[in-house]
């Protein structure tokens, strides 16, 4: 597809929970074999969703896999904090509201764990986002929190290394369907490099069949 249209195309695997790590191992084994033969992996990026696990365990497992992925220049997407709603059989619709918001400290701990291995990772931080589309008022999206996370990481990095990096974190916006334009703009300005839109896309397909 990429050569035919002159555009970059990324092949990405999504939402791998802890119980599915054997599948993740299988994908990486296939990537490594293909990379050895062709100089590039089958997948451009993989996502580990270990947000249901304790943060320390989440980060340690991500470190293990990023170490394998780094030589192939693959991107690891990880999730810290809970995205509400339901997706891929994981139901977080009843999660406590405070769990829907990551803290700057949570996110910087990810940076500290992964950046020494490779800079090629993204963080799906929680800022009130949910999977699916909900009635107005049911979801309180706070993308401005991402800017706070960037500022905290910038301060910590400058204090420890002397380097002043304006936006050291690369974020992923989960549950993007139904988001208002000003929220999307705020998220992009705060370092979001990927936005997941599923429900809106499915609805567009469905409308085409009506």
Instruction: Just list the catalytic residues.
Output: 14
* The total number of residues written for the chain in this structure: 210
By the 10 Å C-beta count (0-12 exposed, 13-18 middle, 19+ buried), 188 is classed as middle
Q: What φ, ψ does residue 90 adopt, rounded to 5°?
A: -100, 120
- Show Cβ contacts of residue 39 under 8 Å, excluding neighbours closer than 6 positions: none
- Round to whole Å and give the CA distance between 111 and 119: 9
- Round to whole Å and give the CA distance between 20 and 28: 13
Cβ 44 vs Cβ 92: under 8 Å: no
Cβ 41 vs Cβ 74: under 8 Å: yes
Query: Which two tokens mark 129?
Result: 């986002």
- Round to whole Å and give the CA distance between 102 and 128: 9
Radius of gyration of the chain (CA): 18
- Round to whole Å and give the CA distance between 152 and 165: 11
């Amino acid at each position: 597809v990429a050569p035919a249209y002159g555009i970059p195309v990324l092949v990405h695997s999504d939402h791998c929970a802890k119980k599915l790590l054997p599948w993740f191992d299988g994908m990486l084994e296939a990537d490594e074999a293909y990379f050895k033969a062709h100089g590039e992996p089958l997948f451009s990026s993989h996502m580990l969703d270990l947000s249901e696990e304790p943060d320390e365990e989440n980060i340690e497992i991500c470190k293990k896999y990023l170490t394998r992925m780094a030589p192939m220049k693959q991107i690891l997407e990880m999730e810290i904090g809970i995205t509400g709603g339901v997706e891929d059989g994981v139901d977080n619709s009843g999660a406590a509201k405070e769990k829907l918001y990551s803290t700057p400290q949570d996110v910087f701990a990810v940076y500290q764990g992964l950046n020494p291995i490779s800079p090629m990772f993204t963080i799906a931080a929680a800022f009130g986002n949910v999977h699916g589309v909900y009635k107005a008022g049911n979801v309180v999206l706070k993308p401005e929190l991402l800017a706070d996370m960037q500022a905290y990481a910038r301060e910590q990095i400058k204090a420890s290394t002397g380097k002043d990096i304006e936006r050291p974190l690369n974020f992923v916006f989960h549950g993007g369907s139904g988001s208002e334009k000003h929220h999307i703009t705020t998220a992009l300005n705060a370092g979001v490099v990927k936005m997941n839109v599923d429900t809106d896309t499915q609805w567009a397909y469905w409308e085409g069949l009506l």
